[in-house]
Structure 1
Amino acid sequence: MTAITRNLPWFVRDLGTAIIGEKCYETLVLNLDVDDVECLKYSLSKVLGVGIVIGGSIMKVPQLLLIVTAQSARGISLPAYVLETLAYGITLAYSYRNNFPFSTYGENLFLTIQNIIITLLIIYYPSSRLTRQESVSSKLLLATVATGATGYALAVIPPNALSALQLATLPISLFSKLPQIRQNYRARSTGQLSAFAVIAQIAGCLARLFTTAAELGDALISAGFALALILNVVLGFQMWAYWGKDIKDEREEVGKRSPPVPIAVPVAQKASNWQAEEKVEVVIPPQSPSYARSGSPQIRHPSGRKWARKVD
């Protein structure tokens, strides 16, 4: 086996060295020494980190497609996405400015960009169709300006203040999930929330807890991922509990809006119905008692005298 591993193509060798380092590459790949626990742990962390970065680059794409296809952001909390984007941005700035390896935080770059787009889409597709277009345009402009200002502030803020902000990502992460959890609970539905994104976030948090412990040992980063894992598990449980309810509600709503189906009536039945409608009920007044006794109609004269006429 060593004859094969020592003669791998140059691009495979360079890629392996770039991911796990030259020392661990030589130990694990060239010499096939799997007894080196430290290199095994470090290499697994690096491979997971690269996988998370690649997965993070497409994690929110299904959510984007759901919103654009349905032209609706129903069931997605705007405050939740604003706070989540802020937490991603702070972690990205904190990791970059502390010169952490890109494999330990790279997904935050892609998730921040995707979250910004989703936030703008939530504003662009308001839940109320009565919202005026001028109001939507002004909100989009305000959100874009706020995003740029926040990014600039995170780039120039002093390191001590940035560390404090990284500590603040714990409550930010908490409050970023609570509005979505609360909205799902009230509506008994997850709306346009993507199941793929929720499951991927759960898996990503689990992997990040391992990579952070193996490579960084930063308690702030680990605490943030632990809290995010718990809240994402709650969202995953809601996805499972309310699965399929949206389809049922849409069918019921379509059934209420659908017009009654016309029933064909035979021509003969229509004619009989018309004849029945044209019938006029004739009421015959009761006969007077005198007519009933004598058998002759009684004729009252205008002067008040009664005249009887016998009918042969």
Structure 2
Amino acid sequence: MGPLLLGFCNWSTLGVCAALKLPQISAVLAARSARGISLPSLLLELAGFLVFLRYQCYYQYPLLTYLEYPILIIQDLVLLLCVFHFNGNVKRAAPYIILLVVSWFALTLQKWIIDMAMNLCTFISAASKFAQLQYLWKTGDSGAVSALTWILASYTCATRIITTLMTTNDLTILLRFVVMLALNIWVTITVLRYRKTVTKAE
């Protein structure tokens, strides 16, 4: 039962993450607007994904426990370019992308750097969710934000709690997924709430 559950969680997470940001990217392209999407939230999420992936690679954890992160980073970069495009200046994305590339190499210059970054990773990722929540509260409009993307993100956090408990049992990683699950659900509820509000108003 254990190996079957682990295999299901790993492969279903990978499958979901392969399409995780596609509903969001599709919604932005369809609306031809990045309305409702918080740029600070997206940048913090990218930073969190990068640190998490680098940490897993550095400690040589099983590949299937983090294989989705390169896919998520690529999708987030595409979404970032879409946001800058619809905000009128794609070139502004370049410094952020350069910073991410430099950070990838800088994180493992010393063991204490990657360890400290991973300890901060939960706060960085949580800050990205709070930035999105704050943006939704401020505007009162979920705009082009995809609720499906946030629902899928909640699912992947739940499955990663299971796989972490069954493989590495790393408490830092486990805490991150528990916090992210709670915040992803919160964002999902907020997106749906403001969507209903706008629908009723119309």
TM-score (norm 1): 0.61
Contact kept, 8 Å, 2:147 with 2:191, in 1: the verdict is: yes
Q: Report if aligned partners of 1:42, 1:214 keep a CA contact under 8 Å in 2.
A: no
Pick the structure with greater CA Rg. 1
Using the alignment, how far apart are the partners of 1:69 and 1:159 within structure 2?
44
Aligned AA (1:233): I
Match of 2:190 among 232, 238, 243: 238
- Is 1:48–1:207's contact at 8 Å kept on the other side of the alignment? yes
Superposition pairs of residues 112-261 of structure 1, within 5 angstroms: 112-126=73-87, 136-154=89-107, 156-247=108-199
Where does the alignment leave 5 or more consecutive residues of structure 1 unmatched? 1-39, 127-132, 252-312
Residue 101 of structure 1 aligns with which residue? Answer: 62
- Any idea what the Cα deviations from partners look like across 1:232-274, whole Å, max 9, x if unmatched? 111121123223344566x5xxxxxxxxxxxxxxxxxxxxxxx
Distance in 2 (alpha carbons) for counterparts of 1:56 and 1:44: 18
Residue 113 of structure 2 aligns with an amino acid whose one-letter code is A
| 1:137–1:201 distance in 2 versus 1, CA, 3 Å | closer
Of structures 1 and 2, the one scoring higher in RCO (CA 8 A, sep 6+) is 2
Q: Cα offset for 1:144?
A: 2.9
Give the corresponding residue for 2:48: 87
Structure 1 residue 158: Cα displacement: 2.2
| Gapped regions of structure 2 (runs ≥ 5) | none
Instruction: Quote how far apart the aligned CAs of 1:55 are.
Output: 1.1
Matched residue count:
202
Change (3 A) 1:248 1:146: farther
Q: Deviations over 1:208-253 (max 9, x none)?
A: 111100111000100110110111111121123223344566x5xx
Tell me the C-alpha RMSD between the 2 structures: 1.7
CA deviation map 1:140-176 (0-9, x unaligned): 332332232223324x432331111111111111211
State how far apart, in whole Å, the 2-side matches of 1:123 and 1:172 are.
22
**Does the 8 Å contact 1:63/1:194 carry over to 2?**
yes
Percent identical among aligned pairs is: 24
Scaled by the length of structure 2, the TM-score of the pair is 0.92
Larger helix fraction of residues = 2
Contact map agreement 1:191 1:246 (CA 8 A) in 2: no
